Structures are given as C-alpha cells and as structure tokens.
A and B are shown apart, each in its own frame.
Chain A
C-alpha cells in the first residue's frame, strides 16, 4: 500500500468535517438529556434539536415543522413512498418512479408491488435523464405519487425536477425527490422545485452516518412506519438521535456556506480530471450527460480494461474509487443505472465512478492520474 491515501469516493460517503464534529461532541458531552424530558437536561437537548431543525429548514427553504428527522435517507425514502401510498387501498394507488433510482426507492417500490400497488418505472435516455413528457404520459387517474431523484449517484445526471414537479402539481399528485447527492452542491428550495417530499442524508454532506431527514409539505399526510412515542409530530416515533441531528444541522450550515463556490471549483476539477484521463487513454468514455451533470461525479469507462482489476490495483496504491457493479450472493451484478442507460455489457464492466468533495485538490488528482497511468496497462482484459 502506498503511503499516501487519496479518497475519491465522495458519492459513497464523506468524512465528518471538523466543524460538524465539534458540534456533535458538544451534544454528546454536555447536552445529554432526553428531549422529551420536562427538566433542564431535556430542555437543553430539545433546544439543540429545534436549532438543527431550523438549520435544515433554512437549507431547503421550508418551515421547521415540515422537517422529519430519520435514521438516514433510506428511511426517508421509505417513509415518503410507504407513508404516502399506504393511505390508499392498494388497488387505488399508483406510483411513478424511474429505473435509475437508488435501491432505497426501487426496493421499496418492489415491496409496494408485492402488496398490490401498481408502479411505473420510467426509462431514461442514454445520458441517464428522465423525460418529463414520459412522466406526464405515465400519469393515471389513480396516480398518488411521483418519485424521481434529483442527482443520480452513479453518473451524476441532474433531473429536471422543477419541471416534473410542475407536471405533478398540475395533476394534483404528490411529488417526492431523493436529493441526497444534490443537497451539498445545488441550491435546493422546495418551493422552486415544486416538491412535496424531499429526502436528504447527513453523511453525504460531511455529517455523521445514521441521520437524515424527510421534508414533508405541511399538507402532506403520511402514515407512520415506526410507532411509539409522539416524537417528530407523531410521524416518526423513537427518542431522537440528538448528536446525529445536531450533526445534520451543522452539516447543512456548512454546505450552505460553500455550495456556490464548490459548485464552480468541483466542476473545474472534474474537467481537469476528465482531461487527464482522456490524455492517458483517448478511448475512455464519459457516461452521463455533459450539460445536466453534477460537478462532483465522473462515471468513466476504460474500454478493454477490467474495472474491478483496475479498482483493486488503485486501492493497493491508496486510491479509493468505486465500481459500477455490486457483488450479490451469486455474481457481480452490473449497475442498474448503466443498464437502464443501455450501455453495452463490456462498457459497464469497464466503468469506474470517481467522485469529488470538499477536500479534493488538483494535487490529489495529479497523484491519482499518475497511479491510474501505471495501473491501466495491468488491468487490460487479455
């Protein structure tokens, strides 16, 4: 293993920022009370939650009461889907989503289908983009919810959320977006985006793991998934994860401060990386849209190269990137996103995802390019 480690997998998770860590430690050490308690210790903790809720609300342009803290984006996505649809008999409720959603949406949608609900999985084009007209065409009288992710976590395609939201609103249908990969770099305002429900996660924005939130517009009625106490306005029971919530609030403040400049900086860094990779191998293919793309995600196919072998060689040299496939009990499955984009199998198996974050620098990219240059010839398919 090389002595220098370079992390280029910020779509998977991000390190906890020092400012966020300080806030969390304070919540752990000082404000330890149960927020439901009537005494001073409880009140102190309750105050921290209220402040964090206000910070999250400020980050997405909603009212604090519209923020429901969850254990992460997976729970938020599940609550959005199950909470909305289970208000209706299964035969009278239809969900529209896309074929490139995170598994937190897709697997929840499959479960809804098993329960008798109907689901439409919209296709995407070769750039990984949903066509809003496809959304309009898929609407039925019984459609109750549309759920389309904001930024795709594998190829970085940025969906036309405001436009899809307008279509949903015109038809009086609830609209949910998983904004996990968007919240750190895009100006997210729930009114401008026409969304009724929005999921986010702390650990993708330099906060801790195990905490996320669902924005639910005040007129959205959700059936809870977890029952118990009256926490989160009886929409999500359980003693609050106070340090996590504090961390999410601090992370939201952090990204709000840096969003605009980071968007520009990372877009330039992404181009620098892309140019460097194309100089190493002119045959590389960049997957996803060239225009509607998130500045921190680069999905790239090194043709005739085994991406898994390349990843292993890069990891041995301290470079952390991600593969476009996942190991299950019987095989390595090709990415459902790249498959939905109709990429050839050979291209999918040659694809790596490189993702950038706040700590990423040109120096790191130069070092990574140097390692990739050495590793590429040793990962060529024989």
Chain B
C-alpha cells in the first residue's frame, strides 16, 4: 500500500522512498516497490519523501530506500539502501536482494 507520509501507521513496517526534485521519479519507483511487496506478500507501507521540497529531516520509517545520497543511517535512525540502480532496471537483482534482506531481517525479529 502506497500512502502519504502523514498518513503512515507506525505500527506497520514502513518503507520510505527518498528522492530529489523529480517527484514523478519518486512516485514511479514507489509504485513499483509497492507492487513488488504486494506480490511477495510482504505487509508494509510505502511512503515517499522528496528532500528538495520536504526538507532535510529524515522521515520516520523502518527502512529508507534512497534515490540519492540524502541520509546516513545515523541521521535516519534505520537502515538506508541506495536504490538508484532501480531507475534503469526496476528488477535490479543486487538492489532487490538488499531490500529483501532488510525486510526479512525485520520480520525475523
């Protein structure tokens, strides 16, 4: 499910797609990831955050997937993965593997 930042339910696993000026690009990647999680049967919320317009504070989430180097893990307070390779290849194996690993680690806890 793709929801707005302010509507996010923190009781659910929350994934935030972070990007820059191009909100279209952020939305496209977020929608692709939402579909991917649904297909995998992973129950989570996907939210979006544009650092160019929404400020430089990291959004509250369990996992940050960023299209540009906006936040460190220390700033975000959660794992951060660079997902820029997904722009050219929505199924980029190494990036998808990193994301799945993080999600599985959360649910294993």
Contact = CB atoms under 8 A, between A and B. Distances in A.
A343 interface: no
Given A330-B28, A378-B69, A382-B82, A308 B21 contact: yes
A18 interface: no
Contacts of A329: 24
A316 interface: yes
Interface string B17-28: 000111011001
Given A312-B21, A331-B28, 8 more contacts: A308-B21, A308-B68, A312-B68, A323-B21, A331-B24, A331-B25, A379-B68, A381-B84
B69 A306 contact: yes
Interface of B: 20-22, 24-25, 28, 51-52, 56, 68-70, 82, 84, 87
A332 B19 CA distance: 11
Nearest to A312: B52
B56 A316 contact: yes
A331 B90 CA distance: 13
Given A316-B56, A380-B69, A381-B84, A309 B24 contact: no
A38 interface: no
Interface in A356-382: 378-382
A378 B20 CA distance: 14
Contacts of B24: 327-331
Contact of A309 (B25, B28, B68, B87): B68
A380 B52 CA distance: 17
Contacts of A328: 24
Nearest to A333: B22
Nearest to A379: B69
Nearest to B23: A327
A132 to B, nearest CB: 37
Contacts of A380: 69
Contacts of B87: 331
A332 B69 contact: no
Interface in A322-365: 323, 327-332
13 contacts: A306-B69, A309-B51, A309-B70, A312-B70, A327-B22, A330-B24, A330-B25, A331-B22, A331-B24, A331-B25, A381-B84, A382-B69, A382-B82
Chain A interface residue count: which class?
10 to 19
B28 to A, nearest CB: 7
B78 to A, nearest CB: 15
B25 A381 contact: no
| Residue of A306, A316, A328, A330 with highest tally of chain B CB at under 10 A | A306
B52 to A, nearest CB: 5
A329 B24 CA distance: 6
A309 B20 contact: yes
A18 B54 CA distance: 35
A379 B24 CA distance: 21
Nearest to B81: A382
Contacts of A332: 21-22, 25
B22 A306 contact: no
Contacts of A331: 22, 24-25, 28, 87
B71 to A, nearest CB: 10
Contacts of B82: 381-382
B69 A309 contact: yes
| Residue of A308, A328, A379 with highest tally of chain B CB at under 10 A | A308
A327 B25 contact: yes
Given A312-B51, A312-B52, A381-B84, A327 B21 contact: yes
Nearest to A381: B69
